[in-house]
Structure 1
Amino acid sequence: METDIRFRHKSLVESSKTGDRSSQYQLYELYVDAMYNIGMRFLGIKEDAEDIVQDSFVDAFKNLHNFKYESTFGAWLKRIVINKSINHLKVKRLPLATMDDHEYHLTEDEAHEKVDPVDILKVKTGIEKLPLGYKQIINLYLLEGYDHNEISEVLGISTSTSKSQYHRAKKKLVEIINTL
């Protein structure tokens, strides 16, 4: 079954490469909701997320000849949406929370804070209440699955800053959730 889906998606991508509007529309329909959700997690403004998603699809279809199946089409498109969302935030000059590189040192064996299981709504609400920089790190690391090296490249920060930001964001998120 999964092989059938992959074959169908690859077929749609190949047809889309030739300019087949019907295939492009089918790919759009398959991925638009997921890409919109990603845009909303980063931008928080419906209109901005919609614009980013539309721009991402336009760019993806214009650059399909560069898509080489090193990942799925969805993963490739997701990277475009995330990069466009982050660039949009940079243009709006919404910086990451500032940090002193020496303020916080992380170690591998650092004790993890224990958090009672909470419902997903509290977590979503908590993430929305985080400062923008923290929200970006949480979204990239926990929700999108990026590692700290990838986050540092995407956001133009050091890997240690990404790790520190993540640790602080997680701590702040726990504080917020505990007040809900």
Structure 2
Amino acid sequence: MESYKEIIELLKGQHPSGLAKLYQGYGRAFYSYCIQKWNLSEDEAWEVVYRTLETLVLKIGNYDLLTQVDFDRFVYRVLINFLRQEYRSKKQKETGQVVYVDFSAESGSNEGFANYLNRDAIHSYYNQEGSEHPQLTSLKNALESMEQTDKDLLLLRAQNYSYDEIAKLLGIDNNQLKVKHHRAKKKLVEILNGQSNY
């Protein structure tokens, strides 16, 4: 795989070979990951790959990526963002139901992607990331203690659903939904700070 520094310099300089080297280094790993871990079709997988590569070309020069791990972490996050959008859209069309993407599941595991890159450093990094942080556990517990509507509202907004989409998905009135979201966030913070038991 090409040096991440070389790829960054080529992309910053808008050199045509930058995209080619990025694809050579990551494209096939992206594609395999989409197909085998997220069960996308070939067309869906290539769409995610193209959107990921396009975004990396446009955005990667705006970040200070000092190490290979920083570079791979950034690349992974961009890929996962598009995978999440594709997966959510696909499942919603199939079922007509609200879909949450569970990143603790194998389909979205960091360790799984590290295996596709096949590098010891990134494998080690994602193994470390894969162990759940205590704050994440606290957040999950806090969300579970909330009323279902508040929990759904917070999770849907976190996945970039609009208020109109949320109202439709949850079958509730959009009136004051923004205010309800603000109140739900306040409740969540209070629970996390140990100030309330909802």
Match of 1:143 in 2: 112
User: Which secondary structure does the structure 1 equivalent of 2:61 belong to?
Assistant: helix
Distance apart, 1:53 and its partner CA: 0.5
Unpaired stretches in structure 2, ≥5 consecutive residues: 93-97, 114-125, 144-198
Evaluate the alpha carbon distance shift between residue 95 and residue 21 of structure 1 in structure 2; reply closer, same or farther with a 3 A threshold. same
Q: Distance in 2 between matches of 1:77 and 1:59?
A: 10
Evaluate the alpha carbon distance shift between residue 160 and residue 30 of structure 1 in structure 2; reply closer, same or farther with a 3 A threshold. same
Distance apart, 1:48 and its partner CA: 0.5
Q: 2:29 aligns with which of 31, 34, 42?
A: 34
Contact 1:36–1:53 at 8 Å: present in 2 too? Answer: yes
Kindly report which structure 2 residues correspond to 1:83-102, keeping only aligned pairs within 5 A, or say none: 83-92=81-90, 93=92, 95-96=99-100
Kindly provide the CA deviation profile for residues 8-67 of structure 1, in whole angstroms up to 9, marking residues without a partner as x. 320221121110011221121111111112222224311111100100000110112223
Query: Of the two structures, which has the highest relative contact order with CA contacts closer than 8 Å and spacing of 6 or more?
Result: 1
Evaluate the alpha carbon distance shift between residue 159 and residue 11 of structure 1 in structure 2; reply closer, same or farther with a 3 A threshold. same
Q: Distance in 1 between matches of 2:56 and 2:70?
A: 13
Evaluate the alpha carbon distance shift between residue 43 and residue 84 of structure 1 in structure 2; reply closer, same or farther with a 3 A threshold. farther
User: Which secondary structure does the structure 1 equivalent of 2:105 belong to?
Assistant: helix
Matched AA of 1:86 = R
Match of 1:58 in 2: 54
Matched AA of 1:59 = T
Kindly report which structure 2 residues correspond to 1:85-124, keeping only aligned pairs within 5 A, or say none: 85-92=83-90, 93=92, 95-96=99-100
Contact 1:38–1:81 at 8 Å: present in 2 too? Answer: no
Contact 1:38–1:82 at 8 Å: present in 2 too? Answer: no
User: Which secondary structure does the structure 1 equivalent of 2:99 belong to?
Assistant: coil
Distance apart, 1:137 and its partner CA: 1.6
Contact 1:52–1:85 at 8 Å: present in 2 too? Answer: yes
Evaluate the alpha carbon distance shift between residue 161 and residue 44 of structure 1 in structure 2; reply closer, same or farther with a 3 A threshold. farther
Evaluate the alpha carbon distance shift between residue 43 and residue 85 of structure 1 in structure 2; reply closer, same or farther with a 3 A threshold. farther
Q: Distance in 2 between matches of 1:73 and 1:91?
A: 28
Match of 1:19 in 2: 14
Match of 2:42 in 1: 46
| TM-score with structure 1 setting the length | 0.52
Unpaired stretches in structure 1, ≥5 consecutive residues: 97-132, 153-157, 163-180
Percent identity between matched residues is 15
Evaluate the alpha carbon distance shift between residue 43 and residue 161 of structure 1 in structure 2; reply closer, same or farther with a 3 A threshold. farther
Match of 1:109 in 2: none
Matched AA of 1:90 = R
| TM-score with structure 2 setting the length | 0.48
